Structure 1
Amino acid sequence: MLRRSWHHVTRAASGIRWYVHELMGDTAYAKYVARHETLHPGVEPLTERAFWRQRTDEAERAPVARCC
């Protein structure tokens, strides 16, 4: 019974860890590389640093609805 309970706890912790990583965008670069290799075989993807710079620049240029 204790082993089964521990299994549920570790499974829940794993799910929470996955959710936080997805929410924070930690897997964004890996997803970009996988998609880039599919769509553009033989072409070098951006470096991780360049990817994050581009993503940050795009987010800063996005229109933001503000009240003031």
Structure 2
Amino acid sequence: MRSVLVRVVEGVRWYVRELTGESTYDRYVAHVRAHDPDARVPSRREFERLRTDRQDADPRQGFRCC
């Protein structure tokens, strides 16, 4: 029973992270490290700022309600 509950909780956590975009930074870091291990990886704050600026410059890249 516990393993089923753990899988359900993990599934819900994954879904919420995907829905809110929280996992985007994790995927970005994995991508940078895979392609250039010596590259500087921006902090999460820097990444979010760059992402927001890019969306503001071209609203077709992603939905922004505010």
Q: Specify if TM > 0.5.
A: yes
2:43 corresponds to which letter in structure 1? T
Distance in 1 (CA, whole Å) between partners of 2:38 and 2:23 is: 22
Matches within 5 A, 1:1-68: 4=1, 7-64=3-60
Report sequence identity in percent. Answer: 35
Distance in 1 (CA, whole Å) between partners of 2:11 and 2:22 is: 15
4+ residue runs over 2 A deviation: 6-14
Q: Deviations over 1:10-57 (max 9, x none)?
A: 433321221011111111111111110111221111121110000011
TM-score after normalising by structure 2: 0.70
Higher normalized contact order (CA 8 Å, seq sep 6+, divided by chain length) = 1
* Larger radius of gyration between Structure 1 and Structure 2: 1
TM-score after normalising by structure 1: 0.69
Q: Aligned Cα RMSD in Å? A: 1.8
